Amino acid sequence: MLVFRPHQRDPEVTDFDAEPPLAEVEAIVGGPLRQVPGFLSIEYDCALRRCVALCLQTQNPKEPVNGAATILWDQALRRDMGVGLIRRDGTRADHLTGTVVVFFARY
């Protein structure tokens, strides 16, 4: 599990042998979870991996933008769908706030 916090470029890495309890993941993120749409792949440790990204169910406008997670989401959308979050004029169509967790299998 990668934990991306606002204002931190590098994620916290947590390995586990079994799926962590939902309550534990909700505690890390700060509340009820939702899947980040289209965030289905991540390049990590020199490999492209299928993943699931989770964030708060309701984005709080008072939470700081999570730049690192937003960039990775944009990259995943471009890889998998050909269109990202950055518009031609340089503005973002969307962004992630608060803490974001990404799960993938490490083989």
- pLDDT tens profile 65-104: 999 999 999 999 999 988 899 888 988 889 999 999 999 9
pLDDT at 107: 62
The answer to pTM > 0.75 is yes
Distance between CA atoms of residues 28 and 21, nearest Å = 11
Number of domains in the chain: 1
Burial per residue of 71-96, b for 16 or more beta-carbon CB atoms within 10 angstroms, e otherwise = bbbbbbbeeeeeebbeeeeeeeeeeb
**Residue written as tokens 């269109």?**
83
Q: Is 62 helix (H, G, I), strand (E, B) or coil?
A: coil
CB atoms within 10 A of CB 41: 18
Range of the domain at 79: 2-103
Read off the pLDDT of each residue in 9-16 and give the average, rounded to a whole number. Answer: 92
Where does the pLDDT of residue 62 fall: very low under 50, low under 70, confident under 90, or very high at 90 and above?
Answer: confident
